[in-house]
Structure 1
Amino acid sequence: MSRTVLRLVVIAGFVFLYAPIVSLVIYSFNESRLVTVWSGFSTKWYGELLRDPQILGAAWISLKVAFLAACLATVLGTLAATALVRHGRFRGQTLLGGLVTAPLVMPEVIIGLSLLLLFVALDNALGWPGGRGLSTIVIAHATFGTAFAVVVIQARMVALDRSVEEAAQDLGARPLRVFFDVTLPGLAPALVAAWLLAFTLSLDDVVIASFVASPGSTTLPMVIFSKVRLGVSPEVNALATLVIATVSILALIAAWLSARRRGAVSV
């Protein structure tokens, strides 16, 4: 295959992937409420978006849920990875490894339904969690976020040089001190990656949250999904554009910091 054909294939692939996103951004500045009919440039839908209490409230709930779920998933993922990697063979190790990674291959509908039944059973038996709400969404998102966190942290932990930890123990450091002062700093890149992955997955989830949420704890993806079912509105385009802009800016900052760090290391 010639180089020209390869370039055309790559260009066609990028157009296929990014043309809908570019169209969405353009029509977020459309003055008309009809998203497929251009009637002039306007930013009024961004103002309407910022005055929409439903979207603002759902966005705040999604950010709180994603932050709490990511923190919980990272902690649980670190503990599970430590047990699987640093404690050798123990009874139930295979079962633990299968349980923490099962959400990776399990359909989200099954996860959401099983968690709903669990919360109902716990509510009937213990009076907790007292109905569905913010706490049930956090637990549900942390459940499948932990599976991804374990994979990331476990891979990093396997690659760590254990001689540094052994040297710290030889110098008199207790195992808990070694874990916090030596192991965790070595896992820092994986911990950040695991947290960001769990945060993103929680912020993006619709299916599981639909099972465990209540009318007073509707997340932003659920609101967007309900609005899109009635037809795409310019406000949804504006919201998507803001999300795209935020993610793009963060990605550029991360790339700049990475390039700067590589330059400092090379010098």
Structure 2
Amino acid sequence: MTSTTAAKVRKIPPGPLEYLRRWPLQAWLVLVGIFLYAPLVSLMAFSFNDSKRNIVWQGFTLKYYVKALNNDSLITAFGNSMTIALCSTVISVVIGAMAAIVLWRFRFVGKTAFNAGLAIPIVVPEICMGVGMLVFFAKVLPWPHNLPWPLDLGNIIIAHVSFSFPFVAVVVRARLASFNRELEEAAKDLGASEFRALMDVVVPHIQPSLIAGGLLAFTLSLDDFVITFFTAGPDTITFPVKVYSMVRFSVTPEVNAASTILIVITVLLTFLALKFQGSGALTAGHGADDK
């Protein structure tokens, strides 16, 4: 291709549906990105500020990260958040996968209502769900607060599972939409039982979505504040609630450091979830067929 031809190709105007090649939309996307992420970037930048007054930059330091990591109550709260997130993730993946398989495979009375009910925790405002959980654990299922750790976190784990597993079900169900039912029938024809066909054929196909849904549930649980605030007992506190209690007194670089740690963990887990769902989930099981 000659330079003249290449220049003509580069000067081809964008088509009517090529919106991202139009500079007004590109400028708008840049402005939206700045609006969304500038506060987070400034928070992370000021976590390295060598000043007790958070709005005045005095120099670069890591002492507030050291101070945050040596804060026993903050470490305890982080341990509670990790325990709750891990437990709720395991339970949410199991329940969410089972719900997705039931909706995908079977026809039964009330399936539409069950499907709609599965979406309620996703669309209901979190504050409403938090108040509902408060009433539930106060009147319907009072949870004792003198239990040994981690049993004292049981009410928070149940609350987190209630809003996490529908997200797992949505992800797994989307993956099941691309499954070829003939593979399962072939496994049964070769002598596999119903359970064996499920574990050897269906589960490997949905494995990327299980991982992605688990990481999504872990991130949602680790970040949750509203529902945890309403369900936590007087002796249990999680990392987001602890950061909120620190902010109530003053926004110091230590608060920024603790928030930055949580942001970094959340971003990494979200990136992994998107990677497994976006690339692994789309290519798993199809590589050999595409060659």
Over 3 Å counting, the alpha-carbon distance change for 1:254 and 1:221 in structure 2 is same
Selected match of 2:36 from 17, 37, 52: 17
Which residue matches 1:64? 83
Note if contact 2:86-2:218 (Cα within 8 Å) is conserved in structure 1. Answer: yes
Q: Take 1:181 and 1:221, find their aligned partners in 2: how far apart are those partners? A: 40
Q: Take 1:228 and 1:240, find their aligned partners in 2: how far apart are those partners? A: 10
Cα offsets for 1:120-168 (capped at 9, x unmatched)? 33446xxxx4249400000000011011111111111122111110100
What amino acid is the match of 1:175?
E
Which residue matches 2:144? 130
Selected match of 1:118 from 116, 119, 136: 136
1:93 aligns with 2:111: yes
| Deviation of the 1:62 alpha carbon | 0.4
Selected match of 1:142 from 149, 155, 161: 161
Which residue matches 2:126? 108
| Deviation of the 1:254 alpha carbon | 8.2
| Deviation of the 1:37 alpha carbon | 0.7
Which residue matches 1:84? 103
Selected match of 1:151 from 148, 167, 170: 170
Q: Take 2:55 and 2:80, find their aligned partners in 1: how far apart are those partners? A: 31
1:192 aligns with 2:211: yes
Q: Take 2:227 and 2:92, find their aligned partners in 1: how far apart are those partners? A: 16
Which residue matches 2:224? 205
What amino acid is the match of 1:116?
L
Which residue matches 1:49? 68
Note if contact 1:123-1:130 (Cα within 8 Å) is conserved in structure 2. Answer: no
| Deviation of the 1:244 alpha carbon | 3.9
What amino acid is the match of 2:89?
A
Which residue matches 1:242? 261
SS of match in other structure, 1:159:
coil
1:171 aligns with 2:190: yes
TM-score (norm 2): 0.79
Note if contact 1:29-1:45 (Cα within 8 Å) is conserved in structure 2. Answer: yes
What amino acid is the match of 1:213?
A
Which residue matches 2:180? 161
| Deviation of the 1:84 alpha carbon | 1.1
Selected match of 1:180 from 189, 199, 216: 199
Cα offsets for 1:12-68 (capped at 9, x unmatched)? 333223322222222111111111011222211111111111111111100110111
Cα offsets for 1:103-124 (capped at 9, x unmatched)? 1111222222222322233446
Q: Take 2:108 and 2:274, find their aligned partners in 1: how far apart are those partners? A: 40
What amino acid is the match of 2:60?
F
Q: Take 2:218 and 2:249, find their aligned partners in 1: how far apart are those partners? A: 28
| Deviation of the 1:79 alpha carbon | 1.0
Note if contact 1:123-1:131 (Cα within 8 Å) is conserved in structure 2. Answer: no
Note if contact 1:49-1:55 (Cα within 8 Å) is conserved in structure 2. Answer: yes
Moved more, 108-117 or 31-40: 108-117
Cα offsets for 1:204-230 (capped at 9, x unmatched)? 111111111112221111111222232
Cα offsets for 1:61-118 (capped at 9, x unmatched)? 001101111111110011111111111x212222322222211111222222222322
Q: Take 1:27 and 1:227, find their aligned partners in 2: how far apart are those partners? A: 16
RMSD: 2.8
**For the pair shown, which has the larger CA radius of gyration, 1 or 2?**
2
1:39 aligns with 2:58: yes
Note if contact 1:31-1:39 (Cα within 8 Å) is conserved in structure 2. Answer: yes
Q: Take 1:253 and 1:156, find their aligned partners in 2: how far apart are those partners? A: 14
Can you give the 5+ residue segments of structure 1 that lack an aligned partner in the other structure? none
Note if contact 1:45-1:238 (Cα within 8 Å) is conserved in structure 2. Answer: yes
Over 3 Å counting, the alpha-carbon distance change for 1:92 and 1:11 in structure 2 is closer
Can you give the 5+ residue segments of structure 2 that lack an aligned partner in the other structure? 1-18, 147-151
Higher percent of residues as helix: 1
